[in-house]
A = this chain, B = another copy of it.
Amino acid sequence: MNKSSAKQWRGIFPPMVTPLRDRDTLDVAGVERLIEHILAGGVQGLFILGSTGEAPSLSYRLRRELIERTCRQVAGRAPVLVGITDTAFVESINLARVAATAGAQALVLAAPYYFPAGQPELLEYLQHIAPELPLPLFLYNMPANTKLAFEPVTVRRAMEVPGIVGLKDSSGNMIYFHQLISLLPPPDWTLLIGPEELLAEAVLVGGHGGVCGGANICPKLYVDLYEAAAARKMESVATLHQQVIRLASRIYQVGHHGSSVIKGIKCALACLGICDDFMAEPFHRFRSEQRAEVQGHLEALGITRFVG
């Protein structure tokens, strides 16, 4: 395995949405435009097939196609991280191999999410899967969707498993994030935060970057906030954090249900002319009134076509 260097994993890694034409067809031109849009924002890397990418709702065929197209389009300009979360161990490995062959740099894995496993079972699962993976692995803590958190006691043990190089925390629980930092992870380990509302404080207290959905829309805003926080420029942090909160509290709160965040991001990208906003079942794109609301918010926020 090509051991990653920690420095590679500092900054913003947008969790890319998956542009779709229909339930099983990629919006290929949209994928290409979206990748260019995100890279132009100066991000450190790109994360595909996470929750924001609707990975669990996509067929394996489409997931493989997305991996290959993304790696080809990025063409080494930034590392590509690929989500391989699955309830079936064997399918996670299959996806990991596709990712390695296509030229991705790392893998991202949440807990298996159908059966409620115990922490010792979760640790054993990690110890079994890591040696079979061809690329460095990030854990992905996402208990709202998986029902199963990587508890600190499990993360501490996972830090000793060769090949596991970091963790992305999307729990929204900053006490947990502080606990991880206080475990004193090895220097080549990386701790990333999921929710963009928490990016500023996560970096201020010692985190290494963020995997923020809004960076699909305005990648540069998140890169700027990360850099301001890393440099402890507190006035810039305050201003940029405020902008992030404003975006999140408007765009993500159109509509109902837990699906509003992804719907809002896809809808905004469609408004900006970047890609289609079709969503895989069980979700559906916003209807026209909600789209008009999102359009209004974008204008109020000063976000216009192809803003970085």
**Number of identical protomers:** 4
Chain A 115-131 per-residue mask, 1 if CB under 8 angstroms from chain B, else 0: 11110011011001100
Q: Does B179 contact A115, Cβ atoms closer than 8 Å?
A: no
Which of B56, B125, B178, B249 sits near A87, CB closer than 8 Å? Answer: B56
> In the bound complex, what is the Cα–Cα distance between A125 and B172 (angstroms)?
29
Quick check: is A259 within 8 A (CB to CB) of the other chain?
Answer: yes
- By a CB distance below 8 angstroms, the chain B residues around A117 are 257-259, 282-283
Quick check: is A157 within 8 A (CB to CB) of the other chain?
Answer: no
Task: Tell me the residues in window 268-285 of chain A with beta carbons closer than 8 Å to chain B beta carbons.
Answer: 280-284
Question: In the complex, which residue of chain B has the Cβ closest to the Cβ of A175?
Answer: B197
Which of B59, B115, B197, B249 sits near A282, CB closer than 8 Å? Answer: B115
**Given A124-B284, A284-B124: A195 and B175 within 8 A (CB)?**
yes
**Given A114-B56, A145-B114, A205-B241: A282 and B124 within 8 A (CB)?**
yes
The count of chain A contact residues (Cβ–Cβ below 8 Å) is 65
> In the bound complex, what is the Cα–Cα distance between A284 and B122 (angstroms)?
11
- By a CB distance below 8 angstroms, the chain B residues around A88 are 56-60, 280
Quick check: is A155 within 8 A (CB to CB) of the other chain?
Answer: no
> In the bound complex, what is the Cα–Cα distance between A24 and B88 (angstroms)?
10
> In the bound complex, what is the Cα–Cα distance between A215 and B118 (angstroms)?
26
Question: In the complex, which residue of chain B has the Cβ closest to the Cβ of A116?
Answer: B258
CB distance from A201 to the nearest CB of B (A): 4
Q: Does A115 contact B283, Cβ atoms closer than 8 Å?
A: yes
**Additional A-B contacts beyond A57-B114, A117-B259 (13; CB < 8 A):** A24-B90, A51-B115, A58-B90, A113-B113, A117-B283, A118-B258, A121-B259, A121-B284, A124-B284, A174-B174, A174-B198, A175-B198, A205-B241
26 contacts between A and B (CB under 8 A): A23-B89, A23-B90, A56-B87, A56-B114, A57-B112, A58-B88, A59-B90, A59-B91, A60-B60, A60-B91, A112-B282, A114-B145, A115-B145, A118-B258, A121-B257, A121-B283, A124-B282, A125-B281, A172-B174, A174-B174, A174-B197, A178-B197, A179-B249, A182-B245, A201-B201, A201-B204
